[in-house]
């Protein structure tokens, strides 16, 4: 898509302390380059403006040579252990530098560039035309260690209006969302010693908080850790650098550098060379009405985690791009919003036919959305209208076995009364049509004529 203005991007101004950016769906407000409010302007009936702020900071890493209160307190923060120097430590915040805030604007996107104090954290907040989320791309590092302290770098998104009561939700490997409760474990009575680290959980795709009125979601582009340490907020750890080993097996701190290290003894002193690592990644932040945290997370997470890879190269010839768009399947058919084409691959061919591996997945869980959490009927004739479909067989998730034959051989427990006698699901393939239920992934071999 080409912008209508002659410039791809235009520097609108610099050092602007207060700024409002509209996408047509939301309005984001910034101060010194950092988000302060999000307003829903796309729907007149639900139009509202909420305080939504972002902060950067760090926890200092526990080092038993500096922070231990007894000789037995030896568990350092390291590769396998996250432990702040104080169990109740508050986030050491880094303020934005107003003199390094810039705004770039085009017809497609507005970018707000900002830098935190110290200069080793920079970010770009993007608001896309027509979009309903704020994308935050950040660059962090090298983490300074001149003070002799390791640091665990965190960004915190806060919406004080959300009264989540210590409850938040993280995904389980991109599938079901798991309910988390601060200071609580569902299967045993917890005695809490680490108020921060003890309430961090893995985030593979998204994390959200909600109440009856509002919901806030953060979608990540890689696995990270985070939690809701303070009500009305989500914090995500994005980078770490420690100076002591945590005695869990690797026998070295997380002090990785860009030039490697010298040899281990007896051939060297295992000293790190160069500067600390610099990382970059993205978050997508969205705000919605109450009890819709899972729904807005689902709408963001696959796009955030699996962005298209765009390649560009120079050419000595004028390349005639005859197609401005690309479709993996026929452009006349659009998959339902809650169905994802996970795999489309040719795995075999003959002179007369091709065998396609097709994997379809339902993106929503039960009860997460009033409409999108329902089962969906798919007709392969719609998915592949240009092909003559000769046969369709369902496979196991990995695709290496026939599902019906595998089900017949599967060990069946007597307690599994819900299992059918032959192990074949009742809603399998019906004249080229299938039904995909919430959170289900189904895999098929489809043979088509050439």
DSSP 383-395: HSTTSEEEEEEEE
- pLDDT surpassing 50 at residue 7: no
Burial 163-193 (b: 16+ CB within 10 A, else e): ebebbbbbbeeeeebeebebeeeeeeeeeee
Q: Confidence class of residue 245 from pLDDT cuts 50, 70 and 90?
A: very high
pLDDT recorded at residue 83 = 97
Q: Does 266 sit behind a cis peptide bond, omega within 30 degrees of 0 on the bond before it?
A: yes
pLDDT recorded at residue 48 = 85
- pLDDT surpassing 90 at residue 42: no
| Rounded Cα gap, residues 214 and 161, in angstroms | 8
| Rounded Cα gap, residues 13 and 425, in angstroms | 61
Q: What percent of the chain has pLDDT over 70?
A: 90
- pLDDT surpassing 60 at residue 152: yes
Could you read off the pLDDT of 301-334 as tens digits, one per residue?
988 988 888 877 777 777 776 666 766 677 778 8
Range 347-350, long-range pairs (CB < 8 A, 24+ positions): 347/445, 349/450
Contact 408, 420 (CB under 8 A): no
| Rounded Cα gap, residues 436 and 380, in angstroms | 13
Mean per-residue pLDDT, 206-213? 97
Could you read off the pLDDT of 393-437 as tens digits, one per residue?
999 999 999 998 998 888 888 765 555 544 456 568 888 999 999
- pLDDT surpassing 90 at residue 4: no
Could you read off the pLDDT of 156-197 as tens digits, one per residue?
999 999 999 999 999 998 899 999 999 999 999 999 999 999
pLDDT recorded at residue 14 = 47
What are phi and psi for residue 78, nearest 5 degrees?
Answer: -165, -150
- pLDDT surpassing 70 at residue 208: yes
| Rounded Cα gap, residues 109 and 105, in angstroms | 6
pLDDT recorded at residue 11 = 55
Could you read off the pLDDT of 263-298 as tens digits, one per residue?
989 999 989 999 999 999 999 999 999 999 999 999
Threshold 0.75, pTM exceeds: yes
- pLDDT surpassing 80 at residue 45: no
pLDDT recorded at residue 220 = 97
Mean per-residue pLDDT, 213-228? 97
| Rounded Cα gap, residues 219 and 171, in angstroms | 10
Could you read off the pLDDT of 348-393 as tens digits, one per residue?
999 999 999 999 999 999 999 999 999 999 999 999 988 899 999 9
Mean per-residue pLDDT, 61-74? 96
pLDDT recorded at residue 183 = 96
Mean per-residue pLDDT, 128-135? 96
């Amino acid at each position: 898509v080409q912008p209508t203005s002659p410039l791809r991007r235009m520097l609108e101004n610099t050092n602007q302390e207060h700024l409002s950016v509209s996408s047509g769906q939301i309005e984001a407000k910034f101060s010194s380059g950092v988000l302060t409010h999000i307003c829903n302007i796309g729907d007149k009936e639900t139009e509202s403006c909420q305080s939504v702020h972002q902060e950067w900071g760090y926890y200092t890493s526990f080092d038993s040579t500096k922070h231990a209160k007894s000789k037995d307190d030896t568990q350092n923060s390291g590769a396998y252990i996250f432990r702040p120097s104080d169990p109740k430590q508050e986030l050491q915040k880094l303020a934005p530098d107003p003199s390094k805030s810039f705004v770039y604007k085009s017809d497609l996107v507005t970018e707000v560039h900002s830098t935190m104090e110290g200069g080793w954290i920079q970010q770009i907040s993007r608001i896309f035309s027509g979009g309903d989320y704020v994308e935050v791309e950040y660059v962090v590092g090298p983490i300074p260690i001149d003070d002799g302290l390791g640091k665990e770098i965190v960004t915190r998104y806060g919406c004080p209006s959300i009264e989540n009561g210590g409850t938040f939700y993280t995904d389980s490997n991109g599938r079901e969302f798991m309910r988390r409760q601060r200071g609580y474990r569902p299967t045993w009575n917890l005695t809490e010693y680490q108020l921060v680290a003890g309430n961090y959980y893995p985030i593979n795709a998204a994390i959200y908080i909600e109440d009856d009125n509002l919901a806030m979601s953060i979608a990540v582009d890689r696995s990270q850790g985070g939690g809701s340490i303070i009500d009305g907020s989500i914090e995500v750890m994005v980078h770490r650098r420690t100076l002591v080993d945590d005695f869990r097996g690797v026998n070295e701190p997380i002090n990785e550098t860009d030039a490697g290290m010298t040899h281990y003894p007896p051939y060297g002193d295992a000293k790190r060379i160069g500067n600390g690592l610099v990382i970059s990644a993205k978050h997508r932040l969205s705000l919605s009405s109450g009890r819709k945290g899972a729904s807005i997370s689902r709408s963001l997470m696959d796009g955030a985690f699996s962005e298209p890879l765009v390649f560009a190269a120079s050419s000595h010839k004028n390349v005639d791009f005859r197609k401005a768009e690309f479709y993996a399947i026929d452009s006349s058919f659009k998959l339902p919003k809650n169905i994802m084409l996970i795999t489309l691959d040719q795995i075999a061919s003959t002179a007369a036919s091709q065998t396609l591996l097709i994997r379809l997945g339902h993106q929503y869980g039960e009860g997460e959305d009033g409409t999108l959490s329902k089962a969906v009927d798919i007709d392969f004739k719609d998915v592949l209208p240009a092909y003559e479909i000769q046969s369709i067989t369902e496979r196991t998730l990995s695709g290496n076995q026939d599902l019906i034959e595998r089900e017949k051989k599967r060990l069946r427990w007597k307690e599994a009364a819900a299992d059918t006698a032959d192990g074949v699901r009742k809603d399998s393939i019906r004249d080229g049509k299938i039904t995909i239920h919430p959170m289900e992934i189904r895999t098929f071999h489809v043979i088509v004529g050439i």
